[in-house]
Amino acid sequence: MNTTNPRPAEGRRMIQAPVLSGDAYPEASDEVKIKAQPVPGGESCVFRLNRKLLAGHSWFFPSFESAAGSPLAEALFCLDDVETVLVMESMLTVTRKDKTLVDWKPLARDIGQALRRHLEGGAPALAERILQGMPSEEGIREGIQKVIDIEVNPGVAGHGGSVTLLGVRGNTVTIQMGGGCQGCSAADLTLKQGIHTAFRKAVPFVGAILDETDHSAGLNPYFS
Amino acid sequence: MPKLNRFNIKIETGDSGTPGPVQFNINHHVLPFENAEGGTGPGEVFTGGFEINSFAHTLALVGPSAGRWHIRRMTVDFDCESTPPYSVNFGEVTLDDSTEVNLWQDSPIPAFDV
Chain B: nearest CA to A56, how far in angstroms?
25
B47 lies within 8 A of chain A by CB = no
Rounded Cα gap, residues A79 and A98, in angstroms: 13
> Which residue of chain A comes nearest to B63, CA vs CA?
A12
Query: What is the ipTM score, two decimals?
Result: 0.89
A5 lies within 8 A of chain B by CB = yes
The more confident residue out of B23 and A181 is B23
- Single-letter amino acid, residue B113: D
Assign domain A34-132 to its CATH architecture: 2-Layer Sandwich (3.30)
Residues of B in contact with A105 (CB under 8 A): 112
A49 lies within 8 A of chain B by CB = no
- Domains of chain A, by residue range, sit at 34-132, 137-217
What DSSP string runs through B4-63?
A: EEEEEEEEEE-SS------EEEETTEEEEPEEEEE--STT-EEEEEEEEEEE-S-EEEEP
- pLDDT for the residue numbered A2: 43
- Domains of chain B, by residue range, sit at 3-102
- Of A127, A43, A33, the residue nearest A81 (C-alpha): A43
A42 lies within 8 A of chain B by CB = no
Cα end-to-end span (Å), chain B: 30
CB contact under 8 A, B60 and A9: yes
Query: Would you identify the CATH topology of the domain B3-102?
Result: Lipoxygenase-1 (2.60.60)
Those residues with Cβ within 8 angstroms of residue A129's Cβ, 6 or more apart along the chain or in another chain: A69
Catalogue the long-range contacts made by A148-154 (C-beta closer than 8 Å, 24 or more residues apart): A148/A175, A151/A198, A151/A202, A152/A194, A152/A195, A152/A198
Q: Please state, for a pLDDT cut of 70, what percent of chain B lies above it.
A: 100
Phi/psi at A155 (nearest 5 deg)? -70, -45
Rounded Cα gap, residues A74 and A81, in angstroms: 13
Instruction: Annotate B96-107 with b (16+ C-beta within 10 A) or e (fewer).
Output: beebbbbbbbbe
Mean pLDDT of chain B: 93
Mean pLDDT of B25-47: 94
Alpha carbon distances (Å) from B95 to A15, A58, A134, A191, A212: 9, 35, 41, 32, 21
- pLDDT for the residue numbered A10: 65
- pLDDT for the residue numbered A22: 57
- pLDDT for the residue numbered A1: 38
Strands A13-15 and B99-102: parallel
Chain A: nearest CA to B19, how far in angstroms?
19
Query: Would you identify the CATH topology of the domain A137-217?
Result: GMP Synthetase; Chain A, domain 3 (3.30.300)
CB contact under 8 A, B98 and A20: no
Residues of B in contact with A13 (CB under 8 A): 98-100
Q: What is the DSSP letter of A67?
A: G
Strands B45-55 and B34-38: antiparallel
CB contact under 8 A, A18 and B25: no
- Of A191, A76, A56, A203, the residue nearest A140 (C-alpha): A203
Rounded to 5 degrees, what angle do the CA atoms A164, B105, B2 make?
A: 120
CB contact under 8 A, B90 and A4: no
Residues of A in contact with B63 (CB under 8 A): 12
CB contact under 8 A, A217 and B71: no
CB contact under 8 A, A36 and B114: yes
Rounded Cα gap, residues B91 and B74, in angstroms: 7
- Of A140, A155, A137, A79, the residue nearest A110 (C-alpha): A79
> Which residue of chain A comes nearest to B71, CA vs CA?
A17
Using CB atoms, which residue from B73, B102, B114 is nearest to A112? B114
A1 lies within 8 A of chain B by CB = yes
pLDDT tens over chain A, length 224 residues: 344 445 555 678 888 888 886 555 655 678 899 999 998 888 899 999 988 999 889 999 999 999 999 999 999 999 989 999 999 999 999 999 988 888 899 999 999 999 999 999 988 889 988 989 999 999 999 999 999 999 999 988 887 888 999 999 999 999 988 877 766 666 676 677 788 999 999 999 999 998 877 665 555 544 44
B11 lies within 8 A of chain A by CB = no
